[in-house]
Amino acid sequence: MISGEQTPTQYIQHHLQNWTVGEGFWAVNVDTIFWSVLLGVLFLWSFRRVAKKSSAGVPGKWQCFVEMIVEFVDNSVKESFHGKDKLIAPLALTIFVWIFLMNLMDLIPVDWLPTAAMYGGYWLGFVDDPHDVYMKVVPTTDLNTTFALSLSVFALIIIYSIKYKGVKGFAKEMTFTPFNHWALIPVNFVLESITLLAKPASLALRLFGNLYAGELIFILIAMIGFWQLPAHFAWAVFHILVITLQAFIFMMLTIVYLSMASSEH
Amino acid sequence: MNINATLIGQTIAFIVFVWFCMKFVWPPIINAIEERQKKIADGLNAGERAQKDLEKAQQEIAEQLKEAKQQAAEIIEQSKKRGAKIVEEETQRGHEEREKIVAAGHEEVAAERNRVREELRKQVAVLAVSGAQKIIEREIDKDAHSDIVEKLVAEL
């Protein structure tokens, strides 16, 4: 839906602009934070409801659904991560469901929430022109979100490496693999550092790239007039796969990275 | 699309969510699941055990039934034998009784016959004597020939 005298370029740019408050580094993307926190709270609230009532008796339908997800995550963790850890399974669950919900925002027709926000903001008197309101509703199309997730995982990778191998073990791994020779320590260190840093970078960029591209295609489809309806439907159906898959990949890789960090080579 | 303070906010949100999930969401749910799994496993085991018990009981019942049938057959056989024996004995006794009665009858009949014969003999003697008397009245003296008549009577 292109309103008024917007050109397609303006339309796309408008859609890809975050609602930002502040300047420079200390600016905050309010829409990203708002939607992600809302979805995270929704996830925790709905799961907490089950957790409070959970018993070994006959489960209700919602409880069944939640338990299905929990068991799926639990199995994934048990398959990849050997050993006991209280953090990894809930971490994986949070990553999976939260990312899934954030990705799911992509399926809401691209104009609905931004338009609602535009006129809502205008009527409430926050802005003089509705076009000054920016609203990006898919938090995972914001690099801040994906890097927040992946850098947290990165921190955990380092914490787990040190916890399970000790500082010495970790340092040794960084300097004596893959070539076990003292003269090649700098080479090893460069290689290992790249390997280590590639993990959070690839995690964040993969998720961001997939969702950003998907969102962009939704925006392009929204510009083609009447035929956007079947096209939107077709792309949405396909996108369900991407949404689920990206959430799953992020979860799975987190588990794998942490299991690698916590076991000797 | 710039990296800015949102990153920090999102990180904090993420940490809080994970912490909440680890503290309040994951443990109760996974505990309930594991407990239920155990319950189901126990239930299945119990079911299997009950099935086995049932089979055993059925086998026992079949055995006992067989035994009971056999015993019943034996009892019937015995009672048949005994019945036959009783019938035989009774028949035997009946025969004996009959023979006894018949024998007694015979004896009685014989005794009666003897008695009747004696009486007849006496009557015939009297008749003979009276006949003879009538004859002799015409020809001989009664007293003189009484010894002959007596002899005659005795011979009858």
The backbone torsions φ and ψ at residue A29, rounded to the nearest 5 degrees and listed phi first, read -80, 95
The span from the CA of B16 to the CA of B9, in Å, is 11
With CB atoms and an 8 Å threshold, state whether A144 touches B10. yes
Give the ipTM of the model, two decimals please: 0.89
Contacts with B, A 221-240, CB within 8 Å: none
Contacts of A56 in chain B (CB under 8 A): 32, 35-36, 38-39
- Residue of A48, A38, A106 lying closest to A247 (CA atoms): A106
Please give the pLDDT value at position B59. Answer: 96
With CB atoms and an 8 Å threshold, state whether A54 touches B28. yes
CA–CA min distance B4, chain A (Å)? 4
* Average confidence (pLDDT) over A76-88: 87
The span from the CA of A94 to the CA of A90, in Å, is 6
Would you tell me how many other CB atoms lie within 10 Å of the CB of residue A153?
23
> Which residue do the tokens 């669950």 mark?
A93
Please give the pLDDT value at position B141. Answer: 63
Q: Which residue has the higher pLDDT, A21 or A158?
A: A158
Please give the pLDDT value at position A229. Answer: 87
A236 by DSSP, 3-state: which? helix
Q: Which of A3-17, A99-113, A187-201 has the lowest mean pLDDT?
A: A3-17
The span from the CA of B65 to the CA of A167, in Å, is 78
The span from the CA of A69 to the CA of B21, in Å, is 14
Please give the pLDDT value at position A265. Answer: 55
CA–CA min distance A181, chain B (Å)? 39
The span from the CA of A42 to the CA of A30, in Å, is 18
Task: Pick from A49, A75, A142, A156 the residue to mutate for testing the B interface (most B CBs within 10 Å).
Answer: A142
Amino acid at B145: H
Question: Among B5, B15, B17, whose Cβ lies nearest the Cβ of A26?
Answer: B5
The span from the CA of A28 to the CA of B8, in Å, is 9
Instruction: Decide if A60 touches B, using CB distance below 8 A.
Output: no
Let me know if residue B88 belongs to a domain: yes
Write out the residue range of the structural domain in which residue A20 sits.
8-261
- A97 contact partners, CB below 8 Å, separation of at least 6: A43, A47, A69, A247
Spacing of C-alpha B59 from chain mean position: 28
Catalytic residue among A202, A259, A262, A263: A202
Q: Which residue has the higher pLDDT, B114 or A12?
A: B114
The rounded percent of chain A whose pLDDT value lies above 90 is 47
Let me know if residue B86 belongs to a domain: yes
The span from the CA of A67 to the CA of A61, in Å, is 10
The span from the CA of A215 to the CA of A209, in Å, is 10
Beta strands in B7-155 (DSSP E): none
The span from the CA of A245 to the CA of A257, in Å, is 18
Total domains present in chain B: 1
Q: Note whether B20 and A44 are within 8 A (CB).
A: yes
Contacts of A88 in chain B (CB under 8 A): none
- A253 contact partners, CB below 8 Å, separation of at least 6: A199, A203
* Average confidence (pLDDT) over B88-100: 95
Let me know if residue A199 belongs to a domain: yes
Contacts with B, A 144-163, CB within 8 Å: 144-145, 147-149, 151-152
Please give the pLDDT value at position B1. Answer: 56
Catalytic residue among A46, A54, A144, A206: A206
What is the Cβ-side half-sphere exposure of residue B5, based on CA atoms within 13 angstroms? 10
Let me know if residue A234 belongs to a domain: yes
By CA distance, what is A68's nearest residue in B? B33
Q: Which of A193-202, A219-228, B137-146 has the lowest mean pLDDT?
A: B137-146
Let me know if residue B1 belongs to a domain: no
pLDDT, tens only, A116-152: 887 887 887 777 777 777 888 899 999 999 999 999 9
With CB atoms and an 8 Å threshold, state whether A98 touches B17. yes
Write out the residue range of the structural domain in which residue B56 sits.
6-155
Residue B101 exposed, middle or buried by CB count within 10 Å (0-12, 13-18, 19+): exposed
Let me know if residue A253 belongs to a domain: yes
- A136 contact partners, CB below 8 Å, separation of at least 6: A15, A16, A17, A18, A19, A29, A31, A32, A114, A142
By CA distance, what is A64's nearest residue in B? B33
Q: What is the per-residue burial (b if ≥16 Cβ within 10 Å, else e) of A218-250?
A: bbbbbeeeeebeebbeebbeebeebbeebbbbb
By CA distance, what is A140's nearest residue in B? B10
Total domains present in chain A: 1
The maximal CA–CA distance of chain B, rounded, in angstroms, is 194
pLDDT, tens only, A235-250: 999 999 999 999 999 9
Q: What is the per-residue burial (b if ≥16 Cβ within 10 Å, else e) of A192-206?
A: beeebeebbeebbbb
